[in-house]
Structure 1
Amino acid sequence: MRPVGSITRGTTNPNRLRRVDNYIAYRCGDLLRSSDRPLVVDLGYGATPITAIELRSRLAAAVRSDIAVAGLEIDPVRVAAAQPHADPPLLTFHRGGFELAGLAPDVVRAFNVLRQYDETSVADAWRTMTATGALLIEGTCDELGRIATWAVVTPSGPSSLTLSARLAALDHPATFAERLPKALIHHNVPGSRVYELLTTLGAAWDASATPFGVRQRWLATVDRFRASWPVLDGPARWRRGELTVPWSSVE
C-alpha cells in the first residue's frame, strides 16, 4: 500500500507530547480497555522514535499493559532507524501515512504533522485517518510541549477542541493562537468563532489576577469563561491546565 502524505521536518524532543499522551489515557481509556487487541498509531513520529516509545510506556502504565503502539513514518530512513527500538508486538514501526499502512487502530495520534500541510489537505486527511473507525487526536504543540492544542476527530467529524498549557509557563491565553490546529489557525481573525474564544479567554485571564498562583488564576479564568461559552470536562482537567470546548462552538 502506497503511503499517503509527504515527508515533513520530523523535529521532536523527549516529553514533548506528554500533555496529549495523558489526555489520550483519560479520554480514550475506556475505549482501549474494551478493545480485544488495543492498538494506537503514532502517525509521523519524526526523526527519532521517542514519542512512540513514550506513548507506549504511558498508556501501558495508565490504561493497559498490553496496549500496542505502531509508529508510522513516510520516510523509510526514519523507519529503519527506529527498528532497534521496536519491541514486537507491543511497539512496532512501519512505513505509512494517512492511510495508516493498512492498520485498523482504535486511536490515532497525529501531532505536529498537518501543521506542515496546506489547510486544504486537512479534511481529506481527517477522513482518511478515521475511515476504519479510529478516534483521531490531531494537533500541535511548541518545541518543549508546554503549549498545545488538539482536536478530537471521530469518523463523523471533529467533536472537540482542547487547549492545554503547563501553567507555570503560561504568560497569557493569547499564546494558544500560535499553536492552533491547522484547521483553525488561519481562521483566528476578527469575526471568527475561534478569535472570539481566545479574546473571551484572554479577557477572563486579565480579570482573574490573584496572589494565590497561576493555577488558581487559570481556574478562575475558566470559571469566568464558561459563563458565556460551553466547556466540557471539569475541574480535574482544568487543574491540569486544560480547557475543552465543543468543536461546534468554534466552527
Structure 2
Amino acid sequence: MSRTPTVAPLPWLQPGEAFPPPRLAWDAHAPLPGLLAAGGQLDSATLALAYGQGIFPWFSPGDPILWWSPDPRMVLRTADFRLHRSLRKTLARFRVQPGCEIRFDSAFDAVIRACAGMARAGQNGTWIVPDIVEAYGDLHRAGLAHSVECWMDGQLAGGLYLVNIGQAVFGESMFARRTDASKIALAALVAFARAHALDFIDCQQNTRHLASLGAREMPRDDFLALVHGATGKAPPTWRFDAVYWQQLHASDDAG
C-alpha cells in the first residue's frame, strides 16, 4: 500500500524575518518542488538578501509572496554559451546596421513592463505583477538590477532584465518585439559577462530554449557554492562597449 509523502508546513515569514535555509525547500515529492516560504516583504533589502542566498520570488496575481530555491537549478555558464550559426549571422547584421545598438539601463522600467506584457506559451497572465515591477524598479535604482536593451531604428526592440550582486548574475525575464531581439540581448549579456569574468548566469527554471543555448541543470548545493563565491566580489560597471562582441569567438559556433 503506497503512502503519500509528508510535506513539511510552509514557513510564513514576517517582514524582516530571515529566510529558512534553502535545503528546507520542498523537494520533488511535494506539490510545488522548490517552494521555500511565503510572506515577508518585497523590498530592495529583502530581495538582495534573497538573491545572495539563491532564493527568488515568483507568484501569480492574488497569491501571497512566494519564495523559491529549486533543486536542481538551471544555470548558464558563460563559457558554455552556444552561439548558433543563425544567431551569429543575425548579430553580424545587427552590428553594422545603422540605428541598431545595445544599451544598458537606459529604459529599465520599459523593459520590465514589456516582459510583464509578453504572452508566453502555457502561461495564463504573468508572474511579473505590479508589486514585482515596483520592487525591481527600486532594486534597479539601488544599483542591483539592470536591463540589457536591444534598440533598432531608435525603438526598443527587445531585451532582458537581471539582478547583479557582486559577480553573480541572476537572469529574470526577456521580451522581443522584433525577431531575435531578445537573443541579441542575451548574446550581448554573455559577451559583457565574459569581458568582466562573470562566470555564470542563473536561469532559475529549465526550458528547452535555454538548454539549446548551453544552460544546464546543476545541484542546488553546487549553485549555492557558485553564488557564495561570487557575491563577495566587486560588481562590474554596467556599460556596454562594442568591443565586447569580440568575446563571442568562432569557437562558440554550435552549427
Regarding TM over 0.5, the answer is no
Q: Which has the higher contact order (CA 8 A, sep 6+)?
A: 2
What range describes the TM-score normalised by the shorter chain of this pair? under 0.3
TM-score, normalised to structure 2, is 0.25
TM-score, normalised to structure 1, is 0.25
Greater per-residue helix proportion: 1
